Amino acid sequence: MQVMSSIADAIGRTPMIRLQRFGADRGHNLLAKCEFLNPGGSIKDRIAWYMVEQAEKKGLLEPGGEIIEATAGNTGIGLAMAAALKGYKLTTVMSAKVSLDKVNMLKALGSQVVITPIGLSADHPDNFVNTAHALAQERGAWLADQFNNEDNVEAHYQLTGPEIWEQTEGTIDVLIAGAGTGGTLSGAGKYLKEKKASLKVVLADPIGSVHCDRFHRLQSKSSSYLVEGIGGDIIPQNLNLQILDDAISIGDEEAISTAYALMKKEALFVGSSSGCIAAAALRYCAKLEAQSGERQTIVAILPDGGRAYMSTIYDDKWLKSKNVSPEKLLAWRNQ
């Protein structure tokens, strides 16, 4: 244990935890990479800090300048930490889908917050990403642009991938993660495949997102879903579909009840994207069973924690307002 020079030094080196009870009957070695234990509460701390440092090096961000970003919340939180430490102004643009907890959190962390209407397609000018682009241009601010900025992918190539490799001592066979921007899968997946050509990279995708269907070369239309932070209605530039070996779709109820199960069985209190990814890990185990293959080491990324969702997936009233039965979720969790 040593003294750190700032909270930024606490980013990364997150625990890798063996799941002893969750999926115990599946016969594989399931490991959880606990990204929710980053100081800002999510995997996005890594890319936020890395993108800001690279922008400074490239001369894109002047002292006292302004950062703008379109975010599902977590990247904004990571950027708010960087902005506070380095003296930048920050404006985050979010769709009204984002939980109130995250909106209030960003305000508390010093960000100006702009909310755009829910459910606008990627080509709509008022969509949260397009709004952020327009604002950055108008104000001459630096747009972090996590969906296109290659330093997002690079952060995971430089940091997340090597950590997973070292923590598993090279025994990892399968990496499972979701894709919001695609940075995690494209960066960590690339690093791990360079280390081990046989490694499989698997996308966990919410039903309603088009990412899984595009991987399977199917045309489909996006529809709304409750899981936050992953999936989408277009393939972002930072999602390299070529790196994927498989893609699994998970419905909202399965994702949320699986998040509940991670708490009940492993005391891991996580958000809905973690539930989606862990559910996909179980489905992948079932696929492996059908092939009667050898015991595999499977790493599931858990991107963020449950506290950001106290007013959504951990609130019975909210669930009912979305036509989800809390009792049904608990029954599934207890299976």
- Identify which range of 55-63, 113-121, 172-180, 285-293 contacts ligand PLP by CB under 6 A: 172-180
What sections of the chain are H helices per DSSP?
44-57, 74-86, 100-108, 128-139, 150-155, 161-167, 183-195, 211-215, 252-266, 272-290, 316-321, 326-333
Phi, psi angle pair for 220, to nearest 5°: -160, 165
* Interface with ligand PLP, residue 127, by CB under 6 A: no
Q: Which of 65, 178, 189, 326 binds ligand PLP (CB under 6 A)?
A: 178
Residue among 44, 97, 102, 190 flagged as catalytic: 44
Q: How far is the CB of 305 from ligand PLP (least distance, A)?
A: 9
Q: How far is the CB of 273 from ligand PLP (least distance, A)?
A: 4
Phi, psi angle pair for 304, to nearest 5°: -150, 170
Q: How far is the CB of 176 from ligand PLP (least distance, A)?
A: 12
Query: What H or E segment, with its residue span, contains residue 174?
Result: strand 174-177
Q: How far is the CB of 178 from ligand PLP (least distance, A)?
A: 5
Is 44 noted as a catalytic residue in this protein?
Answer: yes
Q: How far is the CB of 37 from ligand PLP (least distance, A)?
A: 14
- Identify which range of 48-56, 83-91, 96-104, 179-187 contacts ligand PLP by CB under 6 A: 179-187
* Nearest residue to 304 via CA among 178, 159, 193: 178
Q: Which residues in 12-51 contact ligand PLP (CB under 6 A)?
A: none
* Interface with ligand PLP, residue 275, by CB under 6 A: no
- Residue 60, burial from CB neighbour count under 10 angstroms (0-12, 13-18, 19+): middle
* Interface with ligand PLP, residue 271, by CB under 6 A: yes
Q: How far is the CB of 232 from ligand PLP (least distance, A)?
A: 9
- Identify which range of 25-33, 52-60, 99-107, 178-186 contacts ligand PLP by CB under 6 A: 178-186
* Interface with ligand PLP, residue 281, by CB under 6 A: no
* Nearest residue to 79 via CA among 36, 143, 136: 143
Site size for ligand PLP (CB under 6 A) = 16
- Residue 115, burial from CB neighbour count under 10 angstroms (0-12, 13-18, 19+): middle
Distant-in-sequence, close-in-space partners of 211: CB < 8 Å, separation ≥ 6: 179, 203, 205, 231, 232, 235, 239, 247
Neighbours of 92 (CB within 10 A): 29
Cα dihedral 13→270→144→84 (10° resolution): -70
Taking the least distance from each CB to ligand PLP, the nearer of 273 and 288 is 273
User: Which residue's beta carbon is nearest to the bound ligand PLP?
Assistant: 180
Q: Which of 231, 232, 303, 326 binds ligand PLP (CB under 6 A)?
A: 303
Q: Which of 14, 92, 209, 273 binds ligand PLP (CB under 6 A)?
A: 273
* Nearest residue to 156 via CA among 113, 201, 222, 93: 201
Phi, psi angle pair for 16, to nearest 5°: -110, 120
* Interface with ligand PLP, residue 181, by CB under 6 A: yes
Taking the least distance from each CB to ligand PLP, the nearer of 188 and 329 is 188
Taking the least distance from each CB to ligand PLP, the nearer of 288 and 300 is 300
Q: Which residues in 205-244 contact ligand PLP (CB under 6 A)?
A: 228-230
Phi, psi angle pair for 205, to nearest 5°: -135, 135
Burial of 124-147, coded b for 16+ CB within 10 Å and e otherwise, reads eeebbbbbbbebbeeeebbbbbbb
Residues labelled catalytic: 44
Residues that bind ligand PLP (CB under 6 A): 72, 74, 178-184, 228-230, 271, 273, 303-304
